[in-house]
Amino acid sequence: MNIRMFAGIFSGANSYLVDDGAKSAFIVDAGEYSAPLALAVKNEGLRVLWLILTHGHGDHIGGAERYLREFEGCKLVAGEDEQSMLADPSKNYSSAITGRAISLAPQVLVKDGDELAAGKLTLKILATPGHSPGGICVLAEDALFSGDTLFAGSIGRTDLFGGSMESLLSSVESKLFTLPDETRVYPGHMGDSMIGFEKRNNPFF
Least Å distance, CB 89 to Zn ion, is 15
Chosen residue from 37, 49, 57, 136 binding Zn ion by CB under 5 A: 57
Label residue 17 exposed, middle or buried (CB < 10 Å: 0-12, 13-18, 19+): buried
Using rule CB under 5 A, residue 91 touches Zn ion:
no
The DSSP secondary structure of 130-166, one letter per residue, reads: TSSTT-EEEEETTEEEEETTEETTEE----STT--HH
Side chain identity, residue 193? S
Min dist. Cβ of residue 57 to Zn ion (A): 3
Q: Which is nearer to Zn ion, 32 or 148 (CB)?
A: 148
Mask of contacts with Zn ion, 135-174, x by CB under 5 A?
Answer: -------------x--------------------------
**Least distance from C-beta 102 to Zn ion, angstroms?**
14
Per DSSP, 82 falls in state G
Helices assigned H by DSSP within the chain: 35-44, 64-70, 83-87, 89-92, 94-98, 165-171, 195-201
Nearer to Zn ion, 37 or 168 (CB): 168
Residues in binding contact with Zn ion, number by CB under 5 A: 2
Binding segment for Zn ion (CB under 5 A), chosen from 2-10, 29-37, 55-63, 103-111, is 55-63
| Nearest Cα residue to 172 out of 133, 137, 121, 132 | 137
Which of 14, 34 has the CB closer to Zn ion? 14
CA distance 53 to 125: 11
In degrees and rounded to multiples of 5, residue 98 shows phi and psi of -110, -10
Which residue lies nearer to Zn ion by CB, 97 or 140? 97
Q: For Zn ion, give the closer residue by CB, 19 or 58.
A: 58
Q: What residue ranges bind Zn ion (CB under 5 A)?
A: 57, 148
